[in-house]
Structure 1
Amino acid sequence: MCGPKQTMINQGRQLCCRNDTNGVPTIGIGYQLTRNDFETVMLTYNLTFSNVLSDCQRNTSKYCMTNDQAEEIFYKISYREATECTDKYVSNLPPMKRNAIIDVAACSCRALNTFIKMRQALQTNNWTGAAEELKDSTWCSQNRIQAQVTH
Structure 2
Amino acid sequence: MKRLGTIFFCTLLLTQVVANAEDLNKAKLKTQLIQHEGKRLKVYKDSEGIPTIGVGFNLKKKDAKSKIEALGLPYKDVLEGRVSLTDAQADTLLKGDIETAISDCESVVEGYSELSDIRKRVVVDMTFNLGKTRFSEFKKMLAALKAKDFNKAAVEMKDSKWCKQVKTRCSTLEQMMQANKDPSWLKDAD
Whether TM exceeds 0.5 here: the answer is yes
CA gap 1:145/1:97 in 2 versus in 1, 3 angstroms: closer
2:127 aligns to what?
A: 105
Q: Check whether the contact 1:20–1:146 (CA below 8 A) recurs between aligned residues.
A: no
Matches within 5 A, 1:13-32: 13-32=39-58
How far is 1:40 from its partner?
A: 1.2
1:94 equivalent in alignment to 2:116: yes
1:84 to 100, 103, 113: 103
Root-mean-square deviation (CA), in Å? 2.0
Distance 1:7 1:54 in 2: 25
1:42 aligns to what?
A: 68
Q: Check whether the contact 1:21–1:146 (CA below 8 A) recurs between aligned residues.
A: no
Which residues of structure 1 form unaligned runs of 5+?
56-61
Distance 2:98 2:121 in 1: 11
Q: CA deviation digits over 1:34-67, x for unaligned, max 9? A: 2211111111233223222223xxxxxx311011
1:59 aligns to what?
A: none
Distance 2:55 2:167 in 1: 16
**Greater length-normalized contact order (CA 8 Å, ≥ 6 residues apart):** 1
2:87 aligns to what?
A: 67
Q: Check whether the contact 1:118–1:133 (CA below 8 A) recurs between aligned residues.
A: yes
CA gap 1:146/1:39 in 2 versus in 1, 3 angstroms: farther
Paired residue type of 2:84: C
Which residues of structure 2 form unaligned runs of 5+?
1-26, 171-190
User: Which runs of at least 4 in structure 1 moved beyond 6 Å after TM superposition?
Assistant: none
Distance 1:146 1:136 in 2: 14
Percent of residue pairs identical: 26
Paired residue type of 1:54: E
Give 3-state SS (helix, strand or coil) of 1:3's partner: helix
How far is 1:145 from its partner?
A: 7.4
Q: CA deviation digits over 1:63-108, x for unaligned, max 9? A: 1101111011111x10000111111121222221111100001112
What is the number of residues matched between the two proteins?
140
Q: CA deviation digits over 1:104-135, x for unaligned, max 9? A: 01112222111001000000011111111111
1:3 to 29, 32, 49: 29
CA gap 1:146/1:22 in 2 versus in 1, 3 angstroms: farther
2:38 to 12, 15, 22: 12
